[in-house]
């Protein structure tokens, strides 16, 4: 059935269509606004609590605005008692090593699985990807035993060695994008004499920058928020990452919630800034994936 032309519609029909469209828009934006508030509310609550004194927090509603706001919790965190500089420095170093290691090895492995021909390529790929079905917590005890036997407990190597190589998720994501790269471009480079590594770093990587930026952000966030493995392998305070150090602020008899919220705010701030920097690349990666 053909659609009735707009010119032949009655005024009442046009008003009904406009009202329906307005209602749909209001409903859509209302739903998006509710989702945004739900996502932002914990961060706002964390910041509000972090600038309250313990007495304000204990004697007023948690949603009450700080009166007056204070930075004493942040001063205490970076004082001699807690010395929060050490966890931040350890976390930054761990994340840097893991991001470089995972991105480099994931790109190489994904390119091999996507563009190179070798016996058993697809079988090896799917066996490796099947490890995504194994819960991470199941591997904690075997990894702990291996690292302890190698003498890497309470060391920087113990924190990074098990996770500095390509992850199945990253390799799967990159392989699918590498496979969708136009073969004409790679064939032309091959005819011009470009080798495997040159085609990878000068053609494949630049053409997939949006998805690489997205993967970079995912890797940083996942490693920055890692808690279980650092807690198990490096319990000494000098090797505490920021998540373990934040949890250690709570004691059996004192929650120290204003300090915890100050530490949480410090931990969240770099991730929020990173997302704001890479949001265009993330949007571009979604668009490019959809077009392909």
Count helices and strands in the chain by DSSP H and E runs:
15, 0
Residues in the chain: 292
Instruction: Assess contact for 164 and 102: CB atoms under 8 A.
Output: yes
Tens-digit pLDDT profile for residues 22-43 = 888 888 999 989 988 888 888 8
Q: How confident is the model at residue 285 (pLDDT cuts 50, 70, 90)?
A: low
Average pLDDT over residues 55-69: 82
Return all residues near 47 (Cβ < 8 A) that are at least 6 apart: 261, 265
Tens-digit pLDDT profile for residues 92-146 = 999 999 999 999 999 999 999 988 888 888 899 999 999 888 888 888 999 999 9
Residue 87 has pLDDT above 70, yes or no: yes
- CB neighbourhood size of 28 (10 A): 10
Q: Which two structure tokens, joined as six digits, stand for 223?
A: 């490693």
Q: How confident is the model at residue 8 (pLDDT cuts 50, 70, 90)?
A: low
Sign of the CA dihedral with 213 first, then 219, 220, and 222 last: positive
Residue 227 has pLDDT above 60, yes or no: yes
Tens-digit pLDDT profile for residues 145-175 = 999 999 999 999 999 999 988 889 899 989 9
Average pLDDT over residues 187-216: 84
Rounded to whole angstroms, how far apart are CA atoms 42 and 34? 13
Residue 145 CA, distance from chain mean position: 28
By CB atoms closer than 10 A (0-12, 13-18, 19+), residue 110 is: buried
């Amino acid at each position: 059935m053909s659609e009735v032309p707009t010119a032949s519609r009655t005024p009442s029909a046009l008003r009904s269509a406009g009202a329906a469209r307005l209602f749909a828009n209001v409903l859509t934006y209302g739903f998006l606004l509710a989702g945004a508030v739900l996502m932002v509310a914990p961060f706002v609550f964390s910041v509000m609590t972090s600038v309250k004194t313990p007495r304000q927090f204990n004697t007023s509603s948690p949603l009450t605005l700080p009166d007056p706001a204070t930075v004493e919790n942040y001063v205490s965190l970076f004082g001699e008692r807690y010395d929060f500089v050490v966890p931040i420095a350890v976390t930054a170093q761990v994340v840097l090593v893991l991001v470089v290691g995972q991105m480099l090895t994931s790109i190489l492995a994904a390119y091999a699985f996507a563009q190179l021909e070798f016996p058993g390529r697809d079988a090896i790929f799917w066996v490796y990807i099947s490890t995504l079905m194994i819960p991470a917590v199941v591997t904690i005890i075997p990894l702990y035993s291996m690292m302890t036997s190698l003498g890497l407990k309470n060391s920087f190597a113990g924190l990074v060695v098990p996770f500095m190589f390509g992850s199945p998720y990253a390799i799967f994501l990159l392989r699918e994008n590498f496979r969708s790269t136009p073969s004409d471009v790679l064939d032309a480079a091959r005819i011009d004499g470009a080798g495997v590594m040159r085609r990878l770093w000068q053609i494949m990587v630049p053409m997939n920058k949006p998805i690489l930026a997205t993967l970079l952000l995912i890797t940083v966030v996942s490693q920055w928020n890692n808690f279980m493995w650092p807690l198990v392998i490096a319990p000494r305070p000098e090797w505490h990452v920021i998540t373990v150090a934040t949890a250690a602020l709570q004691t059996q008899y004192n929650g120290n919630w204003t300090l915890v919220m100050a530490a949480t705010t410090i931990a969240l701030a770099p991730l929020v800034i990173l997302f704001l920097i890479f949001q265009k690349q993330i949007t571009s990666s979604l668009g490019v994936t959809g077009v392909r």
